[in-house]
Chain A
Amino acid sequence: MADEQDKGDNAKGPARRHERFRGEYPIVVEGLVNRFGEQVIHDDLDLKVKRGEILGVVGGSGTGKSVLMRSIIGLQPPAEGDIRVFDKSIVDAEPDAEIGVRDRWGVLFQGGALFSTLTVGENVEVPLKQFYPEISDTLRHEIARYKIMLSGLPEEAVNKYPSELSGGMKKRAGLARALALDPELLFLDEPTAGLDPIGAAAFDNLTRELKETLGLTVFLITHDLDTLHEICDRVAVLADKQVIAVDTVPKLMELDHPWIQEYFNGPRGRAALTAQALDELRRHMDMPVAAHAVKALDNAPEKKA
């Protein structure tokens, strides 16, 4: 990392990145302790996020999923422990200090957090202006436009104000802003909350596609079981003030922890699983076994009714 910084023009300001992160773990959290007054949120929490994966983070309400994310992006200084993003510790840095990683991540907040006085296009331009003022207006406008379209918004959305957008479109606009700097790391806080099932599925697909084309590492907080089954490579479970397990969904389901069992094997968990199995079978409809199984599963609920 050191000679990478030397290559940049140090005299002119912060070191610029010219190489993508090659290490194995872009995010490493060690021994994290967070407390609000007497209340301990995290106690000796460890978590490593692998490069190029979509890591889902689940946990009951109040287990500190959002606090964990805010700690990693440096908005919530932890009481103890170390957090390294791209091998740089962000614990000691002030919330607004320049630490050379802020231009390498994008964050989508729950409500989109778009600047309400700016149009969607201008929202996407804000980080570009902030970090790369030397980029010409023409190019910046072009970048904003294609980022917005990459996020699955129609062309006309560019000059709309956030108040004129629906909830789903706001999230996509927020995603476009998060992607403005071509980050390597993307934080999503409950991206599908409040979206209808069709919109949620579309957003899931978008996340996966973007991860594959842009080579992103995604840290995704969610309650959506379908999202977990569909797009997450691994899932971290927050309970008892720690990350109690990080693994793929099928392996997590074998674990003998009451919360995990209730979460994945409860009625909603099973429904999501069945839905995914059905999708999988439909992809192999040319095989007679699969066709039979799909028919049987499709008919079963009707007979009951």
Chain B
Amino acid sequence: MARLAEYDIEDGDGGAVLTLSGPYLVSTIGALDGELRKIDGPIARVDLSDVTEIDTVGAWIACNIASEHEAEITGASERAQRLLGALEGTGSEQDMRPERLPVWTRVPDAMGEKVYNARSGIVGVVSFLGALLISAGNLIRHPRRFRTVALVKQLELVGVAALPIIGLMSFLIGVVIAQQGAVQLAAFGAETLTVNLVGRITLRELGVLMTAIMVAGRSGSAFAAEIGTMKLTEEIDAMRTIGIAPMEALVIPRIMAAVLMMPLLGFYASCMAIIGGAVVGELMLGIPFWTFLSRIQDVVPTYDVWVGLLKAPVFGLIVALAGCYNGMQVKGNSEEVGRRTTLSVVAAIFAVIVLDAFFAVFFTKVGWA
């Protein structure tokens, strides 16, 4: 690449003269900078009279050379002089990034912080639950403060709007269970037990569990993001100053909506899964569709339905609680909203699965095996 900026060293009276020529701009300096730095002196004078164009970068280079070799700058145009003047006293040695601690302090640091935060997280959730119960109590004493419209809207968002996606998902799960189950059961010549498999597993476990995961992703995250954004835009503070308790206006309708809708959605999901299984039965196993459905009645004990329906509101509570709690914890900037939303979904799904394990053991022990 032809260079536009050039330099030349000549011996003049009183020492070597470094003559810079051509445009000394940010766009031309890249190729030259290294060489200019390597010049070993002594240089008495830096001559800028042949420089055609100069910007702060050019001036900075000239300034640097001059101060390194204790040379004087001559022939600077008016503009160059102005730039040189502006750059005076702007030298600095600061690193671009803040200092990083060594690994053996950083890792334990991060670890300790995690543990400490986990502790305050647990305290936070428990006190949030407490505050929730108190405001629920207040609402029972003053039923007129209850926000029916907000509840209905949340019921729609959490429940009705979720029907298509939960229906489709459950249907496909039913298809997969029936198809995969049939393949395995065929090894024992027991394809007909596919009905038992699909009926019991969906009503007891998967229907409610998958719905809870779906609701956590759809509604729990929405709760966290909505409330978090309201927190950022100071809407929540505005509510408090007007005398509206955010717990009553925002949190209780959402939690109630999730608690009320989860059993319905869970049961609906189980039904869709059974229909999915029945479709596979019709197409692949030779079990007629209606026979499949009526067999379900015979092979699935009623308490399986109760197991699912009892778990559902608890899962709903957990999902909504995680969403609302994390939303209320948002502070500072929009990044925090994203972080808290993710956290709410992860925490909700994790808690739901852990609790599901407890429920499984519990219901077996009480005889609903």
Contacts and interface: CB of A to CB of B under 8 A. Distances in A.
Interface of A: 7, 9, 12, 16-20, 103, 116, 119, 121-122, 125, 128, 131-132, 134-136, 138-139, 141-147, 149-150, 155-156, 158-161, 163, 181-182, 209, 212-215
Interface of B: 1-2, 4, 23, 25-31, 33-34, 37, 52-53, 55-57, 60-61, 64, 79, 82-83, 85-87, 89-92, 94-99, 332-333, 335
Contacts of B55: 182, 214
Given A145-B90, A146-B56, A146-B90, A159 B97 contact: yes
Contacts of B2: 9
B98 A160 contact: yes
Nearest to B86: A213
A143 B60 contact: yes
17 contacts: A18-B27, A119-B96, A119-B97, A121-B96, A135-B26, A139-B33, A139-B57, A143-B26, A145-B90, A146-B90, A150-B56, A150-B90, A156-B94, A163-B332, A163-B333, A181-B26, A209-B86
B83 A135 contact: no
A155 B95 CA distance: 10
A19 B37 CA distance: 25
A136 B333 contact: no
B32 to A, nearest CB: 10
A122 B90 contact: no
Given A12-B1, A18-B25, A18-B28, A136 B92 contact: no
Contact of B94 (A135, A145, A163): A145
B96 A125 contact: yes
A134 B79 contact: no
Given A150-B87, A182-B56, 9 more contacts: A18-B25, A18-B28, A20-B53, A135-B30, A145-B91, A150-B86, A156-B94, A182-B25, A182-B57
Contacts of B91: 145-146
A214 B53 contact: no
Contacts of B99: 159
A128 B83 contact: no
B215 to A, nearest CB: 32
Nearest to B335: A116
